[in-house]
Amino acid sequence: MSDRETPRLVATDLDGTLVRDDGTVSARTRAAVLAIQQAGAVFVMVTARPPRWLHDLADLVGAHGVAIVANGAILYDVGRRRAIRTRLIDPAVGLEVARAIRDEVPDVEFAIERSDRYGQEPHYLNRWPRPENTLIAGIEELLAEPAAKLLVRHRSLHSDELLARVAPLVGERVAASHSGGHGLVEIAASGVSKAAMLADFAAEQGISAAETIAFGDSLNDLPMLAWAGTSYGVANAHPEVLAVVDQVCRTNDEDGVATVLEELFNL
């Protein structure tokens, strides 16, 4: 994509990127997202969030109606509240991985996300209110069915350190990453990433990687940022993100994504 061409597809992470630290999307950012869609661009949210955390942003989804959630494990129809496509962790593999992690890091706590339900161990530390239909159970019951994500929580380790300990234990049996610094590692099925589901979505729209720009802030965004023809990291991004992106824009609290879109689309 040359400097004079506008992108056909805009893909962005949410928390820490499009969403401000207070959990809101600013009026400026909403206006920019809606304006680029009116100009003919395709906009898609690509997030670690589970499906239930997308409903408040349904007005941003666009005509295609979907979002890529759970780090690429689910292509989700936001309006109809149903999963269109899933790539889930096999229960036997998930349980094997969970046991390997707990053997080496005994004080971890586990939770799972499915397309339609959240579950957790009894003492798992929640940073957000848990849904009313939460499954409270041991790891064997949590992983009795395929899961979109296995969440590994540690109460004192930074996510970077926890990931460094978990990654060698799981190898290539699953995909491990993190989306922030709050003692959480997120595990998906092998081969799952934001990039993989985004590439499929783009192909269905008849759009190439070269015609795509992507925005992100954390390690789970790296595959997506590498896939896109042009990558942007917000200034508050993880150092590993800032080291590899094509461009750095303003922080999430400074409407960095909106600033770029306004310039590219002459808004």
| CA pair distance 89, 147, nearest whole angstrom | 5
Give the model's confidence band at 1: pLDDT under 50 very low, under 70 low, under 90 confident, else very high. low
Q: What is the mean pLDDT of the chain?
A: 95
Give the model's confidence band at 140: pLDDT under 50 very low, under 70 low, under 90 confident, else very high. very high
- Residues of the chain with pLDDT > 70, as a percent, come to 99
Residues whose CB falls within 8 Å of the CB of residue 107, separated by 6 or more in sequence, listed in order: 154, 155
In DSSP terms, 42 is beta-bridged to 9
Q: Which long-range contacts (CB under 8 A, 24 or more apart) does 27-35 make?
A: 28/255, 28/258, 29/255, 29/257, 29/258, 30/59, 30/60, 31/258, 31/267, 32/255, 32/257, 32/258, 32/261, 32/262, 32/265, 32/267, 33/60, 33/258, 33/261, 34/59, 34/60, 35/261, 35/265, 35/267
Does residue 20 contact residue 14 with C-beta atoms inside 8 Å?
no
- Say whether 143 sits in a helix, a strand or coil: coil
Provide the pLDDT for residue 127: 85
Give the model's confidence band at 5: pLDDT under 50 very low, under 70 low, under 90 confident, else very high. confident
- Please state which of the ranges 123-132, 158-167, 220-229 shows the lowest mean pLDDT: 123-132
Amino acid of residue 176: A
Provide the pLDDT for residue 4: 57
Give the model's confidence band at 141: pLDDT under 50 very low, under 70 low, under 90 confident, else very high. very high
The residue among 191, 108, 117 whose CA lies nearest residue 151 is 108
pLDDT tens per residue across span 228-255: 999 999 999 999 999 999 999 999 999 9
Does residue 162 contact residue 185 with C-beta atoms inside 8 Å?
yes
Is pLDDT at 9 greater than 90 in this prediction? Answer: yes
pTM of the model: 0.95
pLDDT tens per residue across span 190-216: 999 999 999 999 999 999 999 999 999
